[in-house]
Chains A and B, each alone.
Chain A
Amino acid sequence: MKVSLSWLKDYVNIEMDVQDLASALTMAGLEVESVTNTFGYLDNVVVGRIVEISPHPDAEKLKLCRVDAGNSTVQVVCGAPNIAENILAPLALPGTLFPDGSTLQTCYIRGQASEGMLCSKRELELGDDKSGVMVLSGAPETGTRISVALSLSDFVLEIGLTPNRSDCLSVLGIAREIAAIQKQKIKYPVKQQPDRNNDIQKYTSVRIEAPDHCPRYAAALVTDITVSESPFWLRKRLMSIGQRPINNIVDITNFVMMECGQPLHAFDFNLLAENRIVVRTAEKGETFVTLDQKERILDPEMLMICDGEKPVAIAGVMGGLNSEIANSTKRVLIESAYFNPLSIRKTSKKLGLSTEASYRFERGIDPLGTVNALVRAALLMTEIGNGKFTGGVIDENPLVHDVVPIKLSISQTGRLLGIEMERENIKSCLESIEFDVENTDADTLKVTPPSFRVDITRSVDLMEEAARLYGYNNIPTTMPFIHAETIPPLKTLVLRDKIKNIMTGLSFMEAINYSFINESSCDRLRLLSNHTKRKLLYILNPINDEQRVMRTSLIPGLLETMRRNLSQQVRNLKLFEIGNIFLSRGQETLPEEVEMVAGLWTGDRYNSAWYAKDAGCDFYDIKGIVEGLISGLNINNIRFTKMPFELCCYTKQGYTAQVTIEDMPIGLVGEIHPDVLRNFDLKQRAFIFELNCNTILDLTNRAKTSKLLPKYPYTTRDITVIISKDIEAMSILEKLNSYGEKLIENTQLFDIFEGDSVPPGKKSVSVRIVYRSAEKTLEDNEVNGIHITITNRLLREFDASLSA
Chain B
Amino acid sequence: MENTIDQICTEALREIETAKSKDSLNSISVKYLGRKGIVTQFLRNISKLPPGERPKAGEKANEIKKFLEKAFEDTANRLYSQSLEAHDFIDVSLPGRSALPGSLHPITRITREICDIFIRMGFDIAEGPEIESDYYNFEALNIPKYHPARDMQDTFYVSDNIVLRTHTSPVQVRVMEKCKPPVKVIAPGKVYRSDSDITHTPMFHQVEGLMVGENISFGNLKGILTNFVHLMFDEKTRLRFRPSFFPFTEPSAEVDMLCVMCRGNGCRICSQTGWIEVLGAGMVHPAVFENVGYDTTKITGFAFGIGVERITMLKYGIDDTRKFFENDLRFLRQF
CB within 8 Å of A: which B216-241 residues? 216-220, 222-224, 226-227, 240-241
A512-B283 contact in complex given A541-B156, A542-B156, C-beta closer than 8 Å: no
Specify which of A472, A500, A506 is in contact with B108 (CB 8 Å cutoff). A500
Q: Is B103 an interface residue (CB 8 A)?
A: yes
B327/A513 in contact, CB under 8 A: yes
Q: Is A492 an interface residue (CB 8 A)?
A: yes
Q: Which residue of B lies closest to A565 (CB)?
A: B329
Q: Which of B112, B152, B158, B286 has the most CB of A within 10 A?
A: B158
A-chain residues with CB within 8 Å of residue B216 when the two chains form the complex = 480
B-chain residues with CB within 8 Å of residue A537 when the two chains form the complex = 131, 158
A-chain residues with CB within 8 Å of residue B127 when the two chains form the complex = 490, 492-493
A-chain residues with CB within 8 Å of residue B242 when the two chains form the complex = 26-27, 29, 31, 472
CB within 8 Å of B: which A510-529 residues? 510-516
B-chain residues with CB within 8 Å of residue A483 when the two chains form the complex = 182, 184, 213
* Distance of A506 Cα from B103 Cα, bound (Å): 10
Q: Is B29 an interface residue (CB 8 A)?
A: no
CB within 8 Å of A: which B58-103 residues? 94-95, 97-103
Q: Is A425 an interface residue (CB 8 A)?
A: no
CB within 8 Å of A: which B165-214 residues? 182, 184, 190, 192, 194, 196, 201-203, 211, 213
Q: Is A103 an interface residue (CB 8 A)?
A: no
* Distance of A579 Cα from B149 Cα, bound (Å): 30
Specify which of B157, B243, B325, B326 is in contact with A541 (CB 8 Å cutoff). B157
* Distance of A467 Cα from B252 Cα, bound (Å): 10
Q: Is B21 an interface residue (CB 8 A)?
A: no
B219/A461 in contact, CB under 8 A: no
B222/A514 in contact, CB under 8 A: no
Distance from A489 Cβ to chain B, minimum over Cβ atoms (Å): 7
Top 5 nearest A-B pairs (CB, nearest first) are A418-B219, A418-B217, A29-B243, A162-B245, A464-B251
* Distance of A540 Cα from B227 Cα, bound (Å): 41
B219/A419 in contact, CB under 8 A: yes
Specify which of B97, B125, B251 is in contact with A463 (CB 8 Å cutoff). B251
Q: What would 9 A/B residue contacts be, using CB atoms closer than 8 Å? A: A162-B244, A163-B245, A475-B241, A500-B108, A511-B332, A564-B326, A588-B161, A591-B131, A610-B95
Specify which of B131, B147, B332 is in contact with A582 (CB 8 Å cutoff). B131
A-chain residues with CB within 8 Å of residue B126 when the two chains form the complex = 490
Q: Is A487 an interface residue (CB 8 A)?
A: yes
A507/B102 in contact, CB under 8 A: yes
* Distance of A550 Cα from B94 Cα, bound (Å): 47
* Distance of A579 Cα from B105 Cα, bound (Å): 13
A610/B94 in contact, CB under 8 A: yes
B-chain residues with CB within 8 Å of residue A542 when the two chains form the complex = 156
A-chain residues with CB within 8 Å of residue B194 when the two chains form the complex = 541, 543
- Mark A481-509 against chain B: 1 for CB-CB distance below 8 A, else 0: 11110110110110001001001111111
B222/A478 in contact, CB under 8 A: yes
Q: Is A611 an interface residue (CB 8 A)?
A: yes
Q: Is A460 an interface residue (CB 8 A)?
A: yes
A-chain residues with CB within 8 Å of residue B192 when the two chains form the complex = 515
A165-B286 contact in complex given A463-B251, A537-B131, C-beta closer than 8 Å: no
Number of interface residues of A (CB under 8 A): 94
A460/B245 in contact, CB under 8 A: no
| B-binding residues in A (CB < 8 A) | 26-29, 31, 162-165, 341-342, 345-346, 349, 362-363, 415-419, 458, 460-461, 463-464, 467-468, 472-473, 475-484, 486-487, 489-490, 492-493, 497, 500, 503-516, 537-543, 547, 550, 561, 564-565, 568, 570, 573-576, 579-580, 582, 587-591, 593, 606-607, 609-611
* Distance of A467 Cα from B283 Cα, bound (Å): 12
A476-B332 contact in complex given A458-B286, A590-B129, A609-B98, C-beta closer than 8 Å: no
Distance from B97 Cβ to chain A, minimum over Cβ atoms (Å): 6
A478-B184 contact in complex given A473-B240, A486-B122, C-beta closer than 8 Å: no
A416-B283 contact in complex given A480-B224, A504-B102, C-beta closer than 8 Å: yes
A-chain residues with CB within 8 Å of residue B285 when the two chains form the complex = 460
* Distance of A349 Cα from B146 Cα, bound (Å): 9
* Distance of A31 Cα from B147 Cα, bound (Å): 21
B217/A568 in contact, CB under 8 A: no
Distance from B170 Cβ to chain A, minimum over Cβ atoms (Å): 11
- Mark B104-134 against chain A: 1 for CB-CB distance below 8 A, else 0: 1101100010000000001011110111110
B329/A507 in contact, CB under 8 A: no
A564/B328 in contact, CB under 8 A: yes
Number of interface residues of B (CB under 8 A): 83
Give the number of A-B contacts (CB < 8 Å). Answer: 244
B-chain residues with CB within 8 Å of residue A590 when the two chains form the complex = 129, 131-133, 162
Excluding A463-B250, A493-B127, A515-B203, 18 further A-B contacts by CB distance (< 8 Å) are A27-B240, A28-B243, A162-B244, A416-B218, A460-B250, A464-B243, A482-B184, A486-B122, A486-B124, A490-B126, A507-B99, A510-B108, A516-B203, A537-B158, A543-B202, A550-B131, A575-B329, A609-B98
* Distance of A565 Cα from B158 Cα, bound (Å): 32
B219/A478 in contact, CB under 8 A: yes
* Distance of A537 Cα from B129 Cα, bound (Å): 14
A467/B130 in contact, CB under 8 A: no
A-chain residues with CB within 8 Å of residue B157 when the two chains form the complex = 539-541
* Distance of A434 Cα from B172 Cα, bound (Å): 36
A510/B217 in contact, CB under 8 A: no
B-chain residues with CB within 8 Å of residue A550 when the two chains form the complex = 131, 164
CB within 8 Å of A: which B259-312 residues? 283, 285-286, 300
Distance from A137 Cβ to chain B, minimum over Cβ atoms (Å): 37
Q: Is B253 an interface residue (CB 8 A)?
A: yes
A-chain residues with CB within 8 Å of residue B23 when the two chains form the complex = none
Specify which of A464, A478, A503, A582 is in contact with B217 (CB 8 Å cutoff). A478
Q: Which of B132, B184, B245 has the most CB of A within 10 A?
A: B245
A-chain residues with CB within 8 Å of residue B105 when the two chains form the complex = 510-512
B202/A507 in contact, CB under 8 A: no
* Distance of A131 Cα from B102 Cα, bound (Å): 74
B328/A512 in contact, CB under 8 A: no
Q: Which residue of A lies closest to B201 (CB)?
A: A514
Distance from B21 Cβ to chain A, minimum over Cβ atoms (Å): 35
Q: Is B48 an interface residue (CB 8 A)?
A: no
A415-B215 contact in complex given A514-B325, A516-B202, A565-B328, C-beta closer than 8 Å: yes
